[in-house]
Structure 1
Amino acid sequence: MEKYSGFGLLKHSLSHHENWQRVWRNPTPKKHYDAIIVGGGGHGLATAYYMAKEHGMTNIAVVEKGYLGGGNTARNTTIIRSNYLWDEAAHLYEHSLKLWEGLAQDLNYNLMFSQRGVLNLGHTLQDMRDIERRVSANRLNGIDSQLLNT
């Protein structure tokens, strides 16, 4: 597989980006699989990837009616966050966030992952109470969070 690089991007721009190596295969389905994942969006592809990487599974089918990586992951601004109120959810999503940090390097594919903060504006007293509660819950779970007020 060709490695993605700035030089490669420049080289392919000279041919109007028409000669890129095909990334996805379209194989004939097998009769048996170790796992079948329905949905080739962000969650389905991540599940297949980690089943292969962490569990050595190599006979996995990803079935998608549209295109791989589509769905909400492709259509909308995907937010991967860990600011949840339940301890279990906060830890699960914080772990998921850490998995994303090295995924582009592992895959040699630009996932356009960019870590940014999030700012929630409170317009009412109840909004501010909810935001303060979330910030406190995050801090208790070791998640960087700040309350800004004037």
Structure 2
Amino acid sequence: MQRYSGFGLFKHSFSHHENWQRMWRNPTPKPVYDVIIVGGGGHGLATAYYLAKEFGVKNVAVVEKGWLGGGNTARNTTIVRSNYLWDESAQLYEHAMKLWEGLSQDLNYNVMFSQRGVFNLGHTLQDMRDIERRVSANRLNGIDGEVVDAKQVAEMIPYLDCSKNTRYPVLGASLQRRGGVARHDAVA
């Protein structure tokens, strides 16, 4: 597999980035596989990757009717976070967050994961109660999170209108500083 570097990026710029090694194959199907995964989106590709990485299962077929990562993975949210309410969900997403934190290194490929923080804004008193509940549940599960008030939100996101005159005034937010965004299509 080709290793990526700043020099390689510079070198390939002279050919308008048209001479990169293909990152996937299109082989003729074998008569037998140990595992067949239907769906080449984020979950299917991750399953194939971790079967190979963690268990040595390499005779895997990923079958996709379109193109790899062309469905939900390419068109939906890029938010990566683990601040979910229920214990089971929180632990599952916390594990996924830790995998994201090391994924670029594991793949030797920049998945463009940027841990710039994730805010969930509260616009009503009920929103703020729900935010308090979720942050408290996360802390009990050892997951980072904090409640911030409207003034703190305005200081951290200066371009956001946090005035009282907006249609939906910001009363506060939950903040998970380790959360962020990633290019899911880059991973696929």
Q: Same fold (TM over 0.5)?
A: yes
Structure 2 length normalisation: TM-score? 0.75
In structure 2, C-alpha distance between the alignment counterparts of 1:106 and 1:21, rounded to whole Å: 18
In the TM superposition, what is the alpha-carbon distance from 1:53 to its structure 2 partner?
0.8
Query: What SS does structure 1 have at the residue aligned with 2:61?
Result: strand
1:112 aligns with 2:121: no
Name 1:3's counterpart in structure 2.
3
By percentage of residues, which structure has more strand?
A: 2
Aligned residues: CA RMSD:
1.3
In the TM superposition, what is the alpha-carbon distance from 1:116 to its structure 2 partner?
2.7
In the TM superposition, what is the alpha-carbon distance from 1:103 to its structure 2 partner?
1.5
In the TM superposition, what is the alpha-carbon distance from 1:21 to its structure 2 partner?
1.0
Question: How do 1:5-24 and structure 2 match up within 5 A?
Answer: 5-24=5-24
Name 2:45's counterpart in structure 1.
45
Which shifted more, 67-76 or 22-31? 67-76
Letter of the 2:129 counterpart: R
Question: How do 1:51-130 and structure 2 match up within 5 A?
Answer: 51-130=51-130
Name 1:142's counterpart in structure 2.
142
Kept after mapping to 2: 8 A contact 1:37/1:63 = yes
Structure 1 length normalisation: TM-score? 0.93
In the TM superposition, what is the alpha-carbon distance from 1:6 to its structure 2 partner?
1.0
Kept after mapping to 2: 8 A contact 1:45/1:62 = yes
Kept after mapping to 2: 8 A contact 1:72/1:78 = no
**What is the aligned length?**
150
Greater relative CO, 1 or 2 (CA 8 Å, sep 6+): 2
Query: What SS does structure 1 have at the residue aligned with 2:118?
Result: coil
Name 2:174's counterpart in structure 1.
none
Query: What SS does structure 2 have at the residue aligned with 1:77?
Result: coil
Unaligned runs of 5+ in 2: 151-188
Question: How do 1:26-37 and structure 2 match up within 5 A?
Answer: 26-37=26-37
Which shifted more, 73-82 or 107-116? 73-82
Query: What SS does structure 1 have at the residue aligned with 2:37?
Result: strand
Letter of the 1:56 counterpart: G
Deviations 1:55-96 (A, max 9, x none): 110100111122223323222332222111111111111011
Query: What SS does structure 1 have at the residue aligned with 2:148?
Result: coil
